[in-house]
Amino acid sequence: MKLHLRVWRQSSVEDRGRFEDYELDDVSPDSSFLEMLDLLNEQLLEQRKMPVAFDHDCREGICGMCGLMIDGMAHGPVPGHTVCQLHMRHFKDGDHIVIEPWRVAAFPVIQDLVVDRGSFDRILQRGGFISFATGTAPEANSILIPKDRVDTAMDAATCIGCGACAAACPNGSATLFTAAKIGHLGHLPQGQPERYRRVIGMVEQMDAEGFGGCTNVGACTSVCPKEIGQDFISQMNRDYLRAVLGRTGD
């Protein structure tokens, strides 16, 4: 198939950036979106031009490294998929496709389609863990966890930290990302001792990074490759309210 691509090009953080148009022939419908970009880059190299920089790694939808805005949709038109798992058979011959980086102030563009998601790491540094030292763990089966609770925790824990939630949010909010980690640890007995400390710290950092607030639009869940639900946001809000009211006795 033949494609007309409009790709965001930006040489550095300081560069203002611009769109450039490319035509690409002989794209296999069986190739993935990133393999299509590989093809574009090989073509650019042949013309001795700088290839398009984009982040990617595992190419099986689990590392969270890739993430592109494709025609205004985070990770493209197929729900529940990352860009690396999006295949070109979902496009038509002759399609015009606009490719942009995540546009969130807290994810500055480094080059072309590559952004800096260090803000996500810093949010987790404010409590996205359980404090204990290696070696002190009790026997694993001494902590009993009802199956449905661990399943809910797992639903939240599947977050891959790709940033699509913030990218698709009209407010540029990282609420779903933050809520997912709070939800993961908050549903487990191991996470209880730091539950309220965690929510205060992580929410504070989320705001400090310059992410917008949540207005309950739900776009984050719609684009989330792991389809993490809005319930975790509700849970985080409740924990936060309890924490600030000092009602943490549970």
Partner 1 sequence: MWRSSIGKKIIMAGTGLIWIGYLLVHMYGNLKVFAGEEAFNHYAESLRTLGEPMVGHGHALILARIVLILSLAAHVWAAMALTRAAQQARPMGYAKFHQASGNYATITMRWGGLALGLFILYHLAHLTWNVPVLTGEYEPGNTFDKLVVGFTNPVNVVLYLLALVAVGLHLWHGGASFFQTLGWRTAANRQPIRFLTGALAIAIPVGFAVVPLAVATGLVA
Partner 2 sequence: MSEHGHLWQEGPELDGQVPLGAIENQWDDLRFSMKLVAPANRRHYHVVVVGSGLAGASVATALGEQGYRVSCFCFQDSPRRAHSVAAQGGINAAKNYRNDGDSIRRLFYDTVKGGDYRSRESNIYRLAQISTEIIDQCVAQGVPFAREYGGYLDNRSFGGVQVSRTFYARGQTGQQLLLGAYQSLTRQIAAGQVEMHVRSEMLDLIVVDGIARGIVVRNLLTGELRAVLGDAVVLATGGYSNVFFLSTNAKGCNATAIWRAYRRGAVFANPCYTQIHPTCIPPSGSHQSKLTLMSESLRNDGRIWVPRRPGDTRSPDAVPEPDRYYFLEEKYPSFGNLVPRDVASRNAKQVVDEGMGVGLHKNGVYLDFSEAMERLGRATIEQRYGNLFDMYHSITGEDPYAVPMRIYPAVHYTMGGLWVDYQLQSNIPGLFILGEANFSDHGANRLGASALMQGLADGYFIAPYTIGNYLAGIDQAAVTADAPEVTGAIADVRNRLSALLGIQGRRTALSLHRELGQIMWEQCGMARTAESLSTAQTQLQALREEFWNELYVPGDAGSLNQNLEFAGRVADLIELGELLVLDALHREESCGGHFREESQTADGEARRNDAEFSYVAGWTWQGEGAAPMLRREPLAFEAVRLSERSYS
Number of residues in contact with partner 2, rule: CB under 8 A? 80
**Quick one: 43 or 171, whose CB is closer to partner 2?**
43
Q: Dig out the tokens for 118 from the structure.
A: 């260090």
- How distant, in Å, are the alpha carbons of 5, 62, 99, 198 from that of 93? 12, 29, 17, 49
CA 170, 117, 58, 114 dihedral sign is positive
d(C-alpha 242, C-alpha 186), whole Å: 13
Residue 112 binds to partner 1 (criterion: CB under 8 A): no
The arrangement of strands across the sheet holding 73-74 comes to: 18-24, 3-9, 96-100, 69-70, 73-74
Residue 62 binds to partner 2 (criterion: CB under 8 A): yes
**Quick one: 131 or 216, whose CB is closer to partner 2?**
131
- DSSP assignment string, 200-222: HHHHHHHHHTTPBPP-S--HHHH
CB atoms within 10 A of CB 240: 17
Residue 2 binds to partner 2 (criterion: CB under 8 A): no
Among partner 2, partner 1, none, what binds residue 154 when CB lies within 5 to 8 Å by partner kind? partner 2
Among partner 2, partner 1, none, what binds residue 238 when CB lies within 5 to 8 Å by partner kind? partner 1
Applying CB under 8 A, which of residues 13, 105, 137, 154 lies at the interface with partner 1? 105
User: 156 and 187 in contact (C-beta within 8 Å)?
Assistant: yes
Closest distance to partner 1 from the beta carbon of 63 (Å) = 22
Closest distance to partner 2 from the beta carbon of 198 (Å) = 11
Residue 231 binds to partner 1 (criterion: CB under 8 A): yes
Of 113-132, binders to partner 2 (CB under 8 A) are 114, 116-118, 120-121, 124-126, 128-132
**Quick one: 130 or 247, whose CB is closer to partner 2?**
130
